[in-house]
Structure 1
Amino acid sequence: MRPPFTYAPPTAPIAVLYRDDDLLFVDKPAGLLSVPGRLLEHRDCLLTRLQGDDPAVLLVHRLDMDTSGVMVFARTPAAQKTLNWQFEQRSTRKTYLAEVTGHPACNSGTVTAPLMRDWPNRPLQKIDAAGKPSQTDWRVIRRAAETSFVELTPITGRSHQLRVHMAGIGHAIVGDLFYADAAVAGLSDRLHLHAAELTCVHPETQQPLTVTAPCDFIAP
């Protein structure tokens, strides 16, 4: 059973990773909504905080509230249109880091389980043959005593995709209150899922631009 939702976002300043006339990359902290929620008490979010400092900031994509890491925002309507097209065409490249329970039998693999909304339990998603095609590539980068650290590359961008796919193969993400059992969820007070790297084509220079964000749950 899902725990009741209590929104208590972090208050520390948002770290800017890269900024120019067209783009703004920031490091979203875990626990902060990307966009405003429906309720008044859920209006505080990354987008409104950034727009408070720079009204030109425009939304391009989202990260789950519990996920930390790199997000890109546009600073002009033209840049927003270009970036939206890149995300729609899946020409951006996103790399995530996660800590999962247990030890995968192989050092790498691909999950292709289709996903759909779990309507009675929304906003949860579920694996279902009638769902949308979904693909996640994964690679083990380190094995600890009871957990493994993995690099995740989503080929598609379904809601909660990485969380559902890893739980679906028996290696739920540490701290996941939605898809892990209570023992795994309780291993940390945050979800151990981090958007470590994002690559897109700069809308003006037409050159690839890669921005990274440090991960606080994996030691160097």
Structure 2
Amino acid sequence: MLKLFYAPGTISIAVAIALQEAGLDYEPIKVDFASAAQTKPDYLAINPKGRVPALVTSKGTILTETGAVLDYIATLAPAANLVPQDTEVAAHMRSVMYYLASTMHVAHAHKMRGSRWADQQSSFEDMKAKVPQTVAACAAYVEAECLRGDFVTGDQISLPDPYLFVVCNWMEGDGVPRAGFPKIDAFLNRMETRDSVKAVRKLGML
């Protein structure tokens, strides 16, 4: 069985939602960020980066990085149609995933992970103060360019939708009211009705 190392409130929840969408059995294993378990030897032996998600396959292989793990899930469950057949639509799908990973997620991280980029407390405060502006700019891009219907690729859910769901749920905490972005707001409400999200909430992961 697959094993998913996750922490509530992190992007690892996107993987849990995708596993539910794919109909794959998995064992969720919580990494307690409150006690800094991600920095301890036991977890670093699983993921030396000290981050989640980490997915252990049935062969014992350890996979990391959200986009790569999502792609792997899609290959395990092709019937779930989490990757569009149309190559151009699939390229748009991946471009959204890569944008979320490289830009919107990073903008959010500047709020509490400033030590990744600087050493001075004044720098941390400056980065944190900028977050509402940068996250709002990201949300505007998502609103205008990423959602091509009910979901990222139209009327069919695909890999970036769980990713987008988690990242956009951080917006309010980043000082960006989702009510100012009606497409995103409708998307988040739509995702909440899916069995995959309900199942993850029932498990206490979200």
Give yes or no for TM over 0.5.
Answer: no
Ranked by relative contact order (alpha carbons within 8 Å, sequence separation 6 or more), the top structure is 2
**Structure ranking higher in strand proportion:** 1
